[in-house]
């Protein structure tokens, strides 16, 4: 049986080269080098073997993970996370940021996108500006932060430098898929009554739902592993809204979504 170090080394060796392209609307979609648009991967005559698609990454990592002893606790999982080199994001981050909060069957598990600058420095999720916004929303929804589990879909801070500032950069599809192994194990360990995706990246990590966040925002559906979940906006998105009235309106919607999630979780726990 492999130890965490050997496992993570194998993960590192299995990482494919992923390229990305942006649409005119600024949306990012990932593609794998060597993949022809709309065609299955395979070795074409006279060409090198194509790289696996991002959606195949999870299956590859899960196969490797079968040789790893399942973590006994979130603490053990976070200890292994420190050594993760499965994708290049660790190179420019200060540290990996695992989940924290209540780990014994909490009512809610909230999953964001990735750590921000302050989270990367502190080693804790949701301690920066988005975390303060989330704290306000949780309080308004009648939810005690200490009673929920908090984590992110991606464990290292992806960013780009602008002078001395580290500006957030959205993780690509391959990076999200690679990090799913960690998120899946976190949710297996904590056994929350309801999982809440905070934003599109978390939604795509947790579920197979297609389309926009608004299309599923009022629904209760299942994660890829069959856990009950809902989705709402990421608190960090509120700070990027230029109009104060829009920020207040979206904050109210966030609070309403959290209240609805609490109600669903209580019903599931009954």
Query: What is the pLDDT, as a whole number, of residue 125?
Result: 96
Q: Read off the pLDDT band of 157 (50, 70, 90).
A: very high
pLDDT at residue 98 greater than cutoff 80: yes
Largest CA distance in the chain: 63
Contact 169, 159 (CB under 8 A): yes
Give the number of residues written for the chain: 270
Residue 233 CB neighbours (<10 A): 20
Torsion 134-212-173-183 (CA) sign? positive
| Range 74-89 average pLDDT | 91
CA–CA dist 122, 166 (Å, integer) = 15
Q: How far apart are the first and last CA of the chain?
A: 40
Find tokens 């490797």 and name the residue: 64
- Which band of pLDDT confidence, cut at 50, 70 and 90, is reported for residue 138? very high
Token pair in block for residue 255? 């609070």
Tokens 């999630």 belong to 261
pLDDT above 80: residue 110:
yes
Where in the chain are the domains?
4-16+50-269
Which of 17-26, 68-77, 237-246 is predicted most confidently? 237-246
Full strand arrangement of the beta sheet holding 228-232: 100-101, 149-152, 108-112, 194-198, 228-232, 221-222
Confidence of residue 163 (pLDDT cuts 50, 70, 90): confident
**Mean pLDDT computed over 148-161:** 93
108: which 2 tokens? 């809610």
Share of the chain above pLDDT 70, in %: 74
The 3-state DSSP class for residue 241 equals coil
- Quickly name the fold that domain 4-16+50-269 has: Uracil-DNA Glycosylase, subunit E (3.40.470)
10 Rama sector, left if φ>0, alpha if ψ -120 to 50, beta otherwise = alpha
pTM, to two decimals: 0.77
Q: CA-to-CA distance for 148 and 155, rounded, in angstroms?
A: 18
Average model confidence (pLDDT) for the chain?
80
For the cut 50, the answer to whether the pLDDT of residue 73 exceeds it is yes
- What is the tens place of the pLDDT at every residue in 223-270? 999 999 999 999 999 988 999 999 999 999 999 999 999 999 999 999
Q: How many Cβ atoms sit within 10 Å of the Cβ of residue 251?
A: 18
Burial class of residue 22 (count of CB atoms within 10 Å of its CB; 0-12, 13-18, 19+): exposed
1 three-class SS: coil
- The residue ranking higher by pLDDT, 47 or 169, is 169
How far is CA 61 from its chain centroid? 16
């Amino acid at each position: 049986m492999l130890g965490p170090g050997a496992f993570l080394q194998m993960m590192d060796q299995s990482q494919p080269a992923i390229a990305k392209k942006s649409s005119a609307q600024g949306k990012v979609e990932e593609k794998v080098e060597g993949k022809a648009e709309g065609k299955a991967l395979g070795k074409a005559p006279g060409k090198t073997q194509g790289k696996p698609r991002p959606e195949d990454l999870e299956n590859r990592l899960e196969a490797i993970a079968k040789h790893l002893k399942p973590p006994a606790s979130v603490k053990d999982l976070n200890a292994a996370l420190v050594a993760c080199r499965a994708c290049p994001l660790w190179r420019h981050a200060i540290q990996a940021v695992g989940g924290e909060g209540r780990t014994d069957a909490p009512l809610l598990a909230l999953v964001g996108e990735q750590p921000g600058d302050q989270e990367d420095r502190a080693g804790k999720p949701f301690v920066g500006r988005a975390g303060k916004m989330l704290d306000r929303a949780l309080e308004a929804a009648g939810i005690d932060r200490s009673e929920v589990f908090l984590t992110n879909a991606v464990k290292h801070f992806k960013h780009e430098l602008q002078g001395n500032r580290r500006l957030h950069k959205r993780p690509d599809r391959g990076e999200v898929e690679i990090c799913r192994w960690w998120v899946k194990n976190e949710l297996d360990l904590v056994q929350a009554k309801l999982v809440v995706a905070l934003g599109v990246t978390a939604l795509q990590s947790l579920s197979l739902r297609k389309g926009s966040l608004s299309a599923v925002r009022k629904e209760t559906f299942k994660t890829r592993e069959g856990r009950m979940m809902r989705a709402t906006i990421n608190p960090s998105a509120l700070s990027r809204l230029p109009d104060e009235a829009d920020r207040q309106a979206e904050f109210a919607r966030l609070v309403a979504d959290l209240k609805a999630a609490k109600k669903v979780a209580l019903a599931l726990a009954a």
